[in-house]
Structure 1
């Protein structure tokens, strides 16, 4: 049987590296390896005692069989995996040499997984391990095909360093992806608009809160040709100054910088507060002028002062309701009437609220309560 030339092998390596950088390309990389070895099936698999260790990137994946693999057959695969742990990393082996032909053919893995996919003779090698879990690459040939020969084994041994690097990169990038998604999810839960801008005020990232604010047709801030802009000319000039100041601060931490401003709506009213600061540098982006982060917050009274004050200041339900009445504009006497208590009781409530909120005057308390909003988006 003819063996692949150098160009074919190099093309396979290119596809393997593409799979390392992009998980969606891993099945394509497995298919490339299947063709390289003229196999019936190829697969990159992680296996271990913990279900979180189980991963498989295979050629021609069958959804029903994949579900069977991660479901009823999982204990058998885990047990087989333990039998392979004694094989050194990079050593090429064949299924029947390790497991025995008859024991393998009697197993559920053979009868319910391998045989239905025409996997009659496998060649594999272990690629990497972490604790009890490990990755391996496996390529199979069908019932009507010749078995793998010494040249096939030699080629797989030569490819081992590349295959090992692929799974190490895939594992590392997978962790980074999870961390990125967790961070984005957390930012989307904030009742703040968070956006990252470059020096030209182009958006490179925006959380859900920022997307909502920027999409408001008559809001105080929006996008024009992909760049952030304030609708009021005076606000636009001030916003540009603050962004330039944040960029200077990223180059010189000792530079003076005023970080915040109020953005006005179409009617001239106060609609948004904006805080601008340097963003953490990202070596991968290679931006010579740096990035800035802008945090946008709507200026509005908290929608549920009772719930907010209970959680933020540890007020009792009665104290929170009394505080909410004061924040709505009622006088102490009016709040006492509304709550059905004597003025002396109202003064006792007010004294406890002052103590818990670290305020001393009713006007100070009302100002605090009107801005007391939990920084989370309602779900």
Structure 2
């Protein structure tokens, strides 16, 4: 039988390299003369496993495991004799008489027709009153049951196996959270770039990748947004530095310069970019920054009537807000309406007061969010 320390080193090596534990499971099974085995996470309900998930398998096909979890687990007599809240090694040769298992509906109707998982030893790993993982190893009916030597071997391996299974479970949880965050960002209609505290771009959602694929004044690189316009590129870098400074607490108030436009060689309306600091909600430390990019040419602007109803604007104010969100300037609107720019500046100040927007760029972002 192998040295438990050698198997422990293999477990840690697989976890550190991000490998699945199939290889480690196979080595443990071979050391114990087990024919089959699996590792699974077990969500609990009323103190018993409600399902099995995220299987790591050794010589067991996926289909029986899925069928077991969905339809047969609750009939398995082995489930009922384990104290699932207590960690350790469980040898079912001691806990469940052989005749009782052979006579069970589980074995007669399903188990013996599938994999020969008869003699069984389980290793239970729990944390915070919830089972995180379980290792199960099996021998066929005509083999010898697991004995004291096998239990002692698993008991010696247990501390290392526990650490490896908990580490893998936590890493999987982090990956699932990251997947959910990325899926959520992909559902946002604007382009989104997420930066870490050092200013490196960690994620660009699909909308932003599609904007860059247009090759119309905007590209993406490891350092983030790369406008083809030199001024816009300088503005992007400056806005990111400001946001990181706010996130780190070096600047107390949100400064000007965190919003900018990216001109487009095609002549279409520019990309509008809003930059915001990002902090870790758990400890309040700086986490980086986020840039939200709006393609005004692709967005359908809300009607002036919608702006009147939602923002409480007058018809003239709503018309001006919609025009600014559409990329037109105060000078263009003054010429169109045959009024002075000062008059429109007064209207704009009233609009900002009604909407709570400190800057024109904030107002534009608000109006665009009301669009389809």
TM-score by length of 2: 0.71
Identify which of 137, 154, 171 aligns with 2:152.
Answer: 154
CA distance in 2 between partners of 1:303 and 1:87 (Å):
56
Call closer, same or farther: CA 1:151–1:271 in 2, change over 3 Å.
same
Is contact 2:240–2:289 with CA below 8 Å preserved after alignment? yes
Alpha-carbon distance change, 201 to 93 in structure 1, aligned in 2, over 3 angstroms: closer
Pick one of 358, 362, 365 that aligns with 2:312. Answer: 358
Cα contact 2:7–2:28 (8 A) shared by 1: no
1:265 is paired with a residue whose SS is: coil
Alignment of 1:39 with 2:34, yes or no, is yes
> 1:278 deviation in Å?
3.4
Query: 8 Å contact 1:12–1:33 — kept in the other structure?
Result: no
| Counterparts in 2 of 1:268 and 1:202: CA distance versus 1, 3 Å | farther
Q: Which residue of 2 aligns with 1:240?
A: 237
* Whole-angstrom CA distance in 1 between matches of 2:164 and 2:310: 57
Name the residue aligned to 1:73. 72
Q: What is the match of residue 294 of structure 2?
A: 297
How far off is 1:98 after superposition?
Answer: 1.2
Structure-2 change in CA distance of 1:264 and 1:199 (3 Å): farther
> Using the alignment, how far apart are the partners of 2:117 and 2:103 within structure 1?
14
- Identify the residue that residue 98 of structure 1 maps to in structure 2: 95
How far off is 1:136 after superposition? 3.0
Quote the offset at 1:267 in angstroms. Answer: 4.4
CA RMSD of aligned residues (A): 3.7
Q: Which runs of 5+ in 2 are unaligned?
A: 326-366
**1:339 corresponds to which residue?**
none
Contact residue 221 and residue 230 of structure 1 kept, 8 A: yes
Residue 107 (1) aligns with residue 61 (2) = no
Question: TM-score, normalization: structure 1?
Answer: 0.70
Quick check: 2:198–2:288 contact (8 Å CA) kept in 1?
A: no
- Residue 201 of structure 2 contacts residue 222 of structure 2 at CA under 8 Å; is this kept in 1? no
> Which residue, 115, 118, 121 being the options, matches 1:117?
115
Distance 1:373 1:241 in 2: 24
Distance 1:304 1:247 in 2: 31
* 1:49–1:132 contact (8 Å) kept in structure 2: no
Give the Cα separation in 2 of the matches to 1:260 and 1:135.
48
Partner of 1:59: 58
Distance in 2 separating the partners of 1:300 and 1:359: 24
Maintained 8 Å contact 1:278/1:292: yes
TM alignment of 1:22-37, pairs within 5 A: 22=18, 25-37=20-32
Conserved in 1, the CA contact under 8 Å of 2:29 and 2:35?
A: yes
Equivalent of 2:180, from 179, 182, 189?
182
Structure 2 counterpart of 1:172: 170
